[in-house]
Structure 1
Amino acid sequence: MAVMLSMGLTSETVSRLSALWGKSAARNAGRMHLLLGHLLDTAAVAEVMWHSYLAPSLRWRLDEISGGRGREWFMWVCGIHDCGKATPAFQSVDAVEAARVIAAGLTWRRWPAGKRWRHDVAGGALLAPLLRDAWGRDAAGWVWPLVSGHHGAFPSAQSLTAPREQQGRGAGWAEVQRALVEVFTRSVGFESLEGACPRQPLRKAEQLALSGLIVMADWIASDALCFPGIADVADVSLAGARRRAEAGWSRLRLSGGWGQLPMPDSRLQPLERRFGVEPRASQVELVERAWEMPVPGLLVVEAPMGEGKTKAALAAAEVLAARFGLDGVFVAMPTQATSDPMYEQVLSWVRSFDPELESEVGLLHGKRRFNPRWRGIWEGSAVDGSDGCTGDVGDEYGAIDEDDEFGMVAPCCGVADRDGPPRWFLGSKRGLLTGFAVGTVDHLLYAATRTRHVMLRFAGLAGKVVIVDEVHAADVYMRQFLEEALRWLGQAGVPVVLLSATLPPQQRQSLVDAYISGATGRADVSEVVPVPAGYPCVTAAYAVDERPVVETSTRATAPWRAAFPMELAWLPDVTVDGAVVADAARQAVAGGGVALVIVNQVERAQRIYRTLLDRGFDGEVHLLHGRLCTAHRAERTERCLQRLGPGAGGGRPARMVVVATQLAEQSFDVDADVLITDLAPVDLLLQRIGRLHRHEGTRRPAAVCCPRVMVSGVAASPGGGPVFLPASKLIYGEWPLLRAAALVVEAAGPLTCEGDDASEAAEVRGGPHERGRRRGWSIPAQVPDLVARAYGDAEACPAAWADRVRVARETYLEEQEKRAAAAQEFVLTRPREWAAPTLAGLHCGGAYGVRAEEELDAVVRDGERSVEVVLVRRLPGGYAALDGSRLGVHGEAVQDDVVDRVLGGSVRLPARLTRDAEKDLAALPGWSAHPWLRYSSALVLEQDGWASLGEYRVGYDEVLGLLVTAASRPEGPRVGGDDV
């Protein structure tokens, strides 16, 4: 290389440098690749990323810290990542490649087996002293962890010490290591290592994002199909690496999002042009806040159900992106079911900018294969089939090529179809790197966990606007990760929009504090959130020169729909049988209309549904719960949306009852005339009420023209206090239920014992005198007050309940503290670590060994673990899918459409079956070679329709869903498990 000659290196050093290998022939499609060649390939990929992928905000920041040389510095920091391979610890791994290194005069002694030094850690140890000499201790201190962390975990400074034999003993090794760093540094455009010194450090969150981009560049440059090995140093050059990088980038069809988004022509253009709507007052306020914030910050939106928060959030995202140089959006939803309709909405929105951006929108959840729109765009692209579900192969010595960690050889890392989307983003941990993404909130929470490759996930958030919908749905355990994510996003300058219909004031405060602590760099900062002037409202939080600023709505904003009275009545019933609820639903729509029944227990829902059928209900009945197989659940959800959604129009049924569990609680855009619901905490109860009289223009029978709610799952004890459905207490705890019951008592009158006055309580066509006696609720006007009272410190329960409430509250708070503490084992940083200015030691301690997505689910959600299985039927000559599609003798499915039907039989088992399922179930033998099936556990239903699992018998009914009964119980009424 010309650079070597211009540096005046000795021929011996040049010879040795030319022998160092970076990719062995055995692991690089049969062609060895020189170490210097791989460093330059990675630098060239980084250069393409600079122009074609990085958000403007990231480029601006890197220019700022490098004195205007951000592109060269980004190339340098990405390319230098593998310098630790210039050590005996790595060069000795492959005997064939090592022979050439030894022949050049670089030797080593043997060391004990199992004591090999990882090359990522070795890179930090090699680079740190060189940088300290050239740059000073401070600059070296935050850059070396970027090198040592490129295999997914950041070691501590103490771990950089290793036996001298593995680092390289003697002047020869020291000289060639210095030469490698200097030759590479000059090759990318710096006159010396000193000239590459950054002028100022990046903030720690920015370092984390940069680390993820380094990993991305390294993985792309490790693709042997796009970057075949070069064994002759004379053929290694930056110009050649640039040609390879451009061709490889084009072949993979990678790209970012918007690039530099132009400023909208007017303040309300993002609403009017993109959505074609007349902006509502609450939407206008949010967009105005996005225009007025002087720096990226947090926007907390609280508005009634059906107010149009999501459209406003997307419009605000456009404004924020244009103003602050953001490149895309991630929309986080509470569940897989809510992610799918949001994916459709974001697709339509993105197409309004450029139709070709459609292929840049990722859907991130485990059931995306069943989304027809996603499949229509991405079908045929997933060559590895992992879909984010495979685990990583261990990289004990740091010698395994990065793409091998996904169980595939480098050429399979994702070459896209000529006109297809970039399948590279389908690989494990890469989903957030797409320009735009919609998925479950778990993917945001994963980026706040102390797990391997967390930097890759965080890099996918940096440079985007992050929108979190239904933020109230996060429980106390999940909130630890959400608040941790907000701290890091605040420090990285990532704008965040949080949406909620019902957010307790304390929760709003803690979310604001988390973001502000990141934006100011102070863990203990807290800025009191002013009381909003009304509802809907928007709270803005940001920091100017590390000074926190928190503002909220100073004038009342009228909701799009005026407040309307909501009549509440008790329907006392705490039986699993639910016959009282079934009768009340039937009576409620006797004159026509739609009743939505939401209960807290699958078995209760199944029995209510069956009772309606058994008693000859004259109308449509639908059952929706979490123990339906994937295909049936999707079909029924779609059917309900078609019949009751905003576009139902004249297709609305004359008489219909939908019986559901909490699946119908949020982002289920249906319009019911009457609601029967089990008691739940007030914020969730209000979410359920949000399905009632939801759409404008719906024609309703006279008997149900006024919105009415009957609250069940509770009854009065002989002593007068409430008795709750056992499943409800298990899910929510007693204290929130007591507070909710007290607020309903104010609106519906005193509770009665189960069976007492049930007919009167259930009678929704009560006379004027009865209606006048009940105060009801005014929705949405009372929403903030109800939520604040439910979770506030002031006592809201009757005095007769005082002792019980006190004990329940103490128990509840103690449990909340335990759950919050349990999350600390997994959060990315503990409070005492937040002030650390670098990433060194970030992965020391904790659970960073978690590898598979399924394990991550258990990290960010602390409920009882449950297992998803694929139901198949045993036949005399083999197996069949749940829908009857024939499989081979060993369960093999030779056609993709059959695979889809097999996976359509996936269902999640009740938690009490988890241990037996993990112990006894596995994939069928014929599934081992199929990427979509090999990680699935099969539950084989015998020819009588049942399977034995531990102490239980499990079956599946096409209508009722999963059925679970004790093995000793005589077969009779076959009803399903008692989990939600």
Structure 2
Amino acid sequence: MTRTEHEQGGQSSSLTTHSVALPPLGALWGKSAGKAGGRANLLLQHLLDTAAVAELVWDHYLAPSLRQTLNDIAGPGRGRRFFAWLCGVHDFGKATPAFQHLDEAGAARVRRAGLVWDQRVVRLHRWRHDRAGGCLIRGCLSEVGWSEASIDWVWPLIAGHHGLFPTLGGAAEPRRAGGRLQGKGREWKQARWELLNAFTTALGFDDVAGVEPNNTPNRAVQLQLSGFVVMADWIASDQEHFRGVDSLAEVSMHGARERAEAAWKRLGLRGGWGELVAPGQNTFQARFRNDPRPSQTMLADVARQMGAPGLVVVEAPMGEGKTKAALVVAEVLAARWGMDGVFVGMPTQATCDPMFSNVRSWLEGIAPDLASQVALLHGKRMFNRQWRDLLTEDAAPDDRFTSVDEDEFGLDDPYGVSAQASADVVPERLAPAEWFMGAKRGLLSPFVVGTIDQLLFAATRTKHVMLRMAGLAGKVVVLDEVHAADVYMSQFLAEGLRWLGQAGVPVVLLSATLPPAQRRELMAAYLAGARSADAVASEVSAVPEPSGYPSVTAVWRFGSEVGHVVKASRSWRDDLQVAVEILPEPFDDAAKEPDGRASGEQVAALLRERLADGGCALVIRNTVLRAQQTFEALREEFGDEVRLLHGRLCAADRADRTEECLELLGAPKPGGSPRPPRMVLVATQIAEQSFDVDADLLVTDLAPMDLLLQRIGRAHRHAGVRRPDRVSDPRVIVTGFAPQDGRPPRFVKAAEGIYGRYLLLRTAAQVCAAAGDRWSIPGQVPQLVSEVYAPDRSVVPAAWEQAERDAYTEWADRQRTRAESAEPFLLTRAGEHGRQTLEGLHRGGSKDVLPDEQHRAMVRDGDRSVEVVLVRQDDRGFRTLSGKSLGVHGEASRDRLDDVLGGTVRLPAKLTEDAERELGPLDGWREDPWLRYSRALPLDASGKGRIGDHEVRYDRLLGLTEERTR
């Protein structure tokens, strides 16, 4: 075969006669018979298999932007072959005694080929093949003349292909082994050279020297490439699709390509939309069947003006339509810069589910088949009926892939799924390929909706983090409600933005209320890359502040320069003049906390007067307990006209109530339910964002200004709603604190614990100053947020200044402590962002296969909590929370699954340790793929259950309550 044929992807029928005649190549094994379908797979065949898979990853999965990047690295037209070589050479370190002795049959064959070792030494000392490969490839590449810069970035990708990047010293053979783990004598070195040369020439290169790339990619691109090496290896290691080839005469690149193509087809793998046509001016109307608002048009125009992939920060009022605009912007950016998919990150699991539907509808407007490729990623997706309905009956549940089995030699990988179809029948799948649903692979799906945690995980120093970063490569990233990230989460968000910015991944950030300092921090993180903090700060300071609201700020880096576009537009509707009132919290001087019952009765008395002629009110409390107490007081006054919504309702009750509230208080729809004459919804912070209800009157506990404004966004939200005269003007009544003449106000202690006294003091000052007056919303939003979060202390009255200084000191110390507590988990250590390669990235340990709740705890500060499934128990056995019978051991048939899962509820954090110690699945769940990891909490006939010394009760109206503590 000519070199030109190789470069065009031609297929070689076999290795050269010289290669076939070399006994070591016919002996060195890559997969034992037990791991390759009953017949050992020669090491050379596995390298070729992996390279063949990589070719398909290039052809059918990689975004155009990534293919261009690889061509820039390898040289024009050389990217595909170099990518295949990089992926295939990953197991070079298996050509050592340290690995070859691990399988008895394989070892005997290698010894018969003349490659021997000291059995005592190889058993005594360990040298993982991934680290051995990284170490040994350095010498080979140096010997053929590769530059030090090229070697330095390539070897960690080999040494780290099992998920951890070692230091050079950590990859080296243990000194006490005396070089015997790599094999003494020229026979072992010659065998490795013959392996490397045979593999390299089979791909169409003249020799190993000719593989050297022309350029060195930045570290973020290296991390993404590492993820694709892992992806190709895992696919090529699935014994169902790549059965062993133990005869050198049968080893060929042609055979590897046939195997890879069959596997790719049967696994149903694919990329996103490929080359996307640039959206036109009418795209918004075509996608969403209504004309764009001025801010939505502005946002798309700014995206068209950007000089390179960059960061787009959108600040717009609640209900402005930011998310729809962001999806169109994703099309613009994808078409301009060759992106092949999208990740939409939401603040909570609850907000993911409606966004999942919205993204599927949007993609269907681009191309009907794309809607089936959207993955839903969050810890409770199994409860989402739409997601479960998308999975074909022959597909296993998600938790089939939750475990990763690997010994210390990296011998056992989480390679993939077992094909359930016959070789020539591929079942139709209405969801992303099942392979993508495996552990750590979700972000590799072409289109993803998930919690922001998925991005935050990609910024953690965890094993196989490269898979997550590869999943973000070539996508447009959209993050909603970014203001909700606290100082702890913000460390991971900034770290993620830093890597994405360096990799050239476009990011769109959405927020209704973003403090200016936070906007600048996000821009600095994205633009940073390997630059110094001072240099980036200077660049960010040159970007002007938005001059209006809604606004968009776009920044990008092109070489050493930073470009920007900053624009503002008018909102789609006129400002609301929101009257501000204070309802002082009824504190008892003898008690540290106000009586919750008295506070609820106070709200009931107020609403009795304000809703005398009807109307719909929303009451937002800062804790579940206050919400429950308020609900009880209001129910005595208004009966069935009151609803309660909070996080300690079981999944079914919460879903039903959320749906009911959105139907009754949401945007008017033709044929929808009529707005009730009178209704009161009591809720916690879950009504604060991404909750499209329209209240005539808002009563809310005090919260920091940005969150308070989010809550105000639920009042008089939609135009054209008929409202009774007493609530015809927008009004917010703020409680949860009590002003005191000449002294700082008193706050509910629980609120101080959640938000800190400093921000509550500054927000209370603004509320007190506005009491009896009005705020112009949304026009005044940037000013109000800036005044609370800016360091100027003049916002508080003189009598509060000492209290504010004390509160600030406490708040700043807490912020610093929380930020520092994130550092051990961040992907990059402090001071190491300027490093040029991935060497030692995981130095100092790594969190690996953590349950979802523990991963969540890593990236979200606060007390860890767990979910349990509530079941009823009597002398006849178990029933679901809704009353449907289960077996005597809790056996749940398929038609009972929704009812069982509907009883899922999150426990108070203080019960976590007891629940983890005491609760587990029912005996009848242990073999059930959906329920075997669930913790059951049995309840008696009165709805009571026990966890440790705590007695809890589930009430269908109140949700979960803690009855008492012994």
Q: TM-score, normalised by structure 1?
A: 0.92
Quote the offset at 1:793 in angstroms: 1.1
C-alpha distance in 2 between matches for 1:192 and 1:927: 57
Letter of the 2:391 partner, please give it: W
> Of the candidates 899, 902, 910, which is equivalent to residue 900 of structure 2?
902
Hey, what does 1:725 align to over in structure 2? 748
> Quick check: 2:14–2:250 contact (8 Å CA) kept in 1?
no
Hey, what does 1:362 align to over in structure 2? 375
| Helix, strand or coil at the partner of 1:168 | coil
Letter of the 1:280 partner, please give it: R
> How many residues align structurally?
931
Hey, what does 2:876 align to over in structure 1? 877
Deviates more, 1:123-132 or 1:920-929: 920-929
> Quick check: 2:651–2:903 contact (8 Å CA) kept in 1?
yes
> Quick check: 1:413–1:424 contact (8 Å CA) kept in 2?
no
CA separation of 1:419/1:160 partners in 2, compared to 1, >3 Å: closer, same or farther? closer
Hey, what does 1:762 align to over in structure 2? none
Q: Work out whether 1:157 is the aligned partner of 2:178.
A: no
Hey, what does 1:760 align to over in structure 2? none
Quote the offset at 1:411 in angstroms: 7.7
> Quick check: 2:315–2:549 contact (8 Å CA) kept in 1?
yes
Letter of the 2:62 partner, please give it: L
CA separation of 1:151/1:5 partners in 2, compared to 1, >3 Å: closer, same or farther? closer
> Of the candidates 906, 909, 912, which is equivalent to residue 911 of structure 1?
909
> Quick check: 1:142–1:201 contact (8 Å CA) kept in 2?
yes
Hey, what does 1:296 align to over in structure 2? 309
Hey, what does 2:74 align to over in structure 1? 66
Hey, what does 1:281 align to over in structure 2? 294
CA separation of 1:952/1:719 partners in 2, compared to 1, >3 Å: closer, same or farther? farther
Aligned ranges 1:654-733 → 2 under 5 Å: 654-717=677-740, 720-733=743-756
Deviates more, 1:700-709 or 1:820-829: 700-709
Deviates more, 1:679-688 or 1:134-143: 134-143
C-alpha distance in 2 between matches for 1:139 and 1:675: 62
| Helix, strand or coil at the partner of 2:596 | coil
> Quick check: 2:404–2:414 contact (8 Å CA) kept in 1?
no
Quote the offset at 1:137 in angstroms: 1.3
Hey, what does 1:258 align to over in structure 2? 273
Q: Work out whether 1:508 is the aligned partner of 2:529.
A: no
CA separation of 1:699/1:199 partners in 2, compared to 1, >3 Å: closer, same or farther? same
C-alpha distance in 2 between matches for 1:120 and 1:539: 44
1:893-936 Cα shifts (integer Å, max 9, x gaps) = 2x223233222211111111112112222222332222222222
1:241-280 Cα shifts (integer Å, max 9, x gaps) = 111111111111111111011223x3x2332322232222
CA separation of 1:387/1:294 partners in 2, compared to 1, >3 Å: closer, same or farther? farther
Hey, what does 1:40 align to over in structure 2? 48
| Helix, strand or coil at the partner of 1:863 | coil
Letter of the 1:723 partner, please give it: R
> Quick check: 1:825–1:846 contact (8 Å CA) kept in 2?
no
Hey, what does 1:572 align to over in structure 2? 584
Quote the offset at 1:871 in angstroms: 1.4
1:201-237 Cα shifts (integer Å, max 9, x gaps) = 1110001111111111111111222222212121121
C-alpha distance in 1 between matches for 2:800 and 2:124: 64
Aligned ranges 1:61-460 → 2 under 5 Å: 61-68=69-76, 69-109=78-118, 110-111=120-121, 115-134=125-144, 135-162=146-173, 163=177, 164-264=179-279, 266=280, 268-380=281-393, 382-383=395-396, 385-386=398-399, 390-403=402-415, 417-421=427-431, 422-460=433-471
> Quick check: 2:284–2:292 contact (8 Å CA) kept in 1?
yes
> Quick check: 1:66–1:73 contact (8 Å CA) kept in 2?
yes
Quote the offset at 1:548 in angstroms: 2.3
C-alpha distance in 1 between matches for 2:158 and 2:298: 45
C-alpha distance in 1 between matches for 2:814 and 2:880: 42
CA separation of 1:819/1:627 partners in 2, compared to 1, >3 Å: closer, same or farther? same
Hey, what does 2:890 align to over in structure 1? 891
1:855-898 Cα shifts (integer Å, max 9, x gaps) = 211110111111111112222133222222322333232x2232
> Quick check: 2:827–2:841 contact (8 Å CA) kept in 1?
yes
Deviates more, 1:114-123 or 1:220-229: 114-123
> Quick check: 2:122–2:180 contact (8 Å CA) kept in 1?
no
> Quick check: 2:531–2:834 contact (8 Å CA) kept in 1?
no
C-alpha distance in 1 between matches for 2:866 and 2:609: 39
C-alpha distance in 1 between matches for 2:102 and 2:203: 29
Deviates more, 1:394-403 or 1:88-97: 394-403
CA separation of 1:609/1:381 partners in 2, compared to 1, >3 Å: closer, same or farther? farther
Letter of the 2:303 partner, please give it: A
Aligned ranges 1:816-855 → 2 under 5 Å: 816-849=815-848, 851-855=850-854
CA separation of 1:547/1:825 partners in 2, compared to 1, >3 Å: closer, same or farther? same
> Quick check: 1:87–1:166 contact (8 Å CA) kept in 2?
yes
Q: Work out whether 1:634 is the aligned partner of 2:644.
A: no
Letter of the 2:623 partner, please give it: Q
C-alpha distance in 2 between matches for 1:449 and 1:174: 38
Letter of the 2:127 partner, please give it: W
> Quick check: 1:384–1:412 contact (8 Å CA) kept in 2?
no
RMSD of the TM alignment (CA)?
A: 2.2
1:294-323 Cα shifts (integer Å, max 9, x gaps) = 100001010111111111111111011001
C-alpha distance in 1 between matches for 2:422 and 2:758: 51
Quote the offset at 1:286 in angstroms: 1.1
| Helix, strand or coil at the partner of 2:862 | coil
C-alpha distance in 1 between matches for 2:445 and 2:356: 14
CA separation of 1:411/1:155 partners in 2, compared to 1, >3 Å: closer, same or farther? farther
> Of the candidates 485, 498, 502, which is equivalent to residue 496 of structure 2?
485
CA separation of 1:443/1:89 partners in 2, compared to 1, >3 Å: closer, same or farther? same
Hey, what does 2:611 align to over in structure 1? 589
CA separation of 1:375/1:883 partners in 2, compared to 1, >3 Å: closer, same or farther? same
Hey, what does 1:543 align to over in structure 2? 557
Quote the offset at 1:410 in angstroms: 8.5
Quote the offset at 1:179 in angstroms: 1.1
| Helix, strand or coil at the partner of 1:401 | coil
C-alpha distance in 2 between matches for 1:28 and 1:582: 70
Hey, what does 1:814 align to over in structure 2? 813
CA separation of 1:504/1:619 partners in 2, compared to 1, >3 Å: closer, same or farther? same
CA separation of 1:316/1:706 partners in 2, compared to 1, >3 Å: closer, same or farther? same
Hey, what does 2:4 align to over in structure 1? none
> Quick check: 1:624–1:636 contact (8 Å CA) kept in 2?
yes
Flag structure 2 segments of 5+ consecutive residues without an equivalent: 1-10, 586-593
> Quick check: 1:471–1:499 contact (8 Å CA) kept in 2?
yes
1:355-391 Cα shifts (integer Å, max 9, x gaps) = 1111111111122222232223225364253177x24
C-alpha distance in 2 between matches for 1:2 and 1:465: 38
> Quick check: 1:212–1:456 contact (8 Å CA) kept in 2?
yes
Flag structure 1 segments of 5+ consecutive residues without an equivalent: 749-773, 969-980
| Helix, strand or coil at the partner of 1:723 | strand
1:162-221 Cα shifts (integer Å, max 9, x gaps) = 132222222111111111111111111111111111000111000111111111111111
Aligned ranges 1:741-756 → 2 under 5 Å: 741-748=764-771
| Helix, strand or coil at the partner of 2:746 | strand
> Quick check: 2:461–2:826 contact (8 Å CA) kept in 1?
yes
CA separation of 1:959/1:618 partners in 2, compared to 1, >3 Å: closer, same or farther? closer
| Helix, strand or coil at the partner of 1:956 | strand
> Quick check: 2:868–2:905 contact (8 Å CA) kept in 1?
yes
Hey, what does 1:753 align to over in structure 2? none
